[in-house]
Amino acid sequence: ATAQVPPPATMARSMGAVLPDEAVPARFAKPEPAPPTGEIKRPGRNNKAFLIGGGALVILLIIVGVIFMRQPKEDLRQMAALDDGKAPIGLPTEDPALAPPPVVTPQVAPPPSGPSPEQVAAIEAVKDFPLDGERGTVGNWLQYSYTASPGAGTEEWNASSTGDGGMLVEYRLVPGAAGGNGALYLFEIDPNGLVMGKNIEARQMLAGSPPPEAPKAKKKPVKKTAPKRARRPVYEEPKEVPLLPLPDAGELRPPAEDDGTFGSDTINSGL
């Protein structure tokens, strides 16, 4: 029998030969890496991200601490109570009856305002109003009549509106320490500057009558005191007693029995 010869391709595969198509990829394949020898080096850690995160955390803690220190205690309590106005659990409740009363500050009354420019102008117009008979002006006449002497009193000028465009000017004399009566003059000045008297005193002054004499201050009577008597001293020196003259020898001699002048009511002569 004749032996069958396999085809060339079959023979090549059975004998372990490499086909031309498979030899091309094997030629360009990378060789396998050799196994590592010695110590294996580990890759280093990236510390940059860790430092950035730590710095941000520190800054955040500082900001929170500053906000906490600036918040008042009442706000912190309300924040702890979830802003409902109630005291948190564990904190003592405040009794409104024990709260101190609010401090009431007294209201100070505003200082009285001074005269308006219109009032000042009206007073000056009355003072400068001329009088007939070479008596000067109203202001000079009143000053000479009442306050020429020291201690007579003080003058007060006031003005108010009359409602029809005029001004009512008042002159008042306040008595001083020397005593005496006060005085009151009322004038009205119209928008044209004409001055008229509103009471008897002002009319008489504008008409030319002399001012009423101010009563003199009464002098207190001086009480006459009796002259004081000289007081006798408590201790007086004893007066000298004059000495009596001493008896002579005849007056000192006792009387004799035969003397008629001798006698005694106590001796019985019949014994």
- Over residues 17-34, the pLDDT tens digits come to 444 555 555 555 566 666
Question: Which region among 69-73, 127-131, 135-139 has the lowest average model confidence (pLDDT)?
Answer: 69-73
Single-letter code of the amino acid located at 13: R
Task: Give Cα 248 distance to the centre of its chain.
Answer: 107
Scanning the chain, the segments in alpha helix (DSSP H) are 8-14, 20-28, 48-70, 73-80, 117-127, 138-146, 200-207, 249-252
Per 3-state DSSP, the chain is made up of helix, strand and coil in percentages (nearest 5) of 30, 10, 60
**What pLDDT is recorded for position 38?**
54
Starting at the earlier edge strand, list the strands of the sheet with 183-189. Answer: 153-161, 167-175, 183-189, 195-197
Q: Per-residue b/e over 208-233, b at no fewer than 16 CB within 10 Å?
A: eeeeeebeeeeeeeeeeeeeeeeeee
**What pLDDT is recorded for position 182?**
85
Tokens 């005085």 locate to 183
Look at residue 163 and tell me whether its pLDDT is greater than 80: yes
Task: Give Cα 130 distance to the centre of its chain.
Answer: 49
* Nearby residues of 6 by Cβ (< 8 Å), 6 or more positions away: 14
**What pLDDT is recorded for position 1?**
47
- Is pLDDT larger for residue 140 or for residue 81? 140
Q: Per-residue b/e over 164-199, b at no fewer than 16 CB within 10 Å?
A: eebbbbbbebebeeeebeebebbbbbeeeeebebee
Q: What does pTM read for this prediction?
A: 0.39
**What pLDDT is recorded for position 126?**
93
- Separation between Cα atoms, residue 140 and residue 135, nearest integer Å: 8
From residue 22, alpha-carbon distances to 6, 32, 226 in Å are: 21, 19, 170
User: In sequence order, what are the beta bridge partners of 153?
Assistant: 175
Q: Where are the domains of the chain?
A: 53-89, 117-207
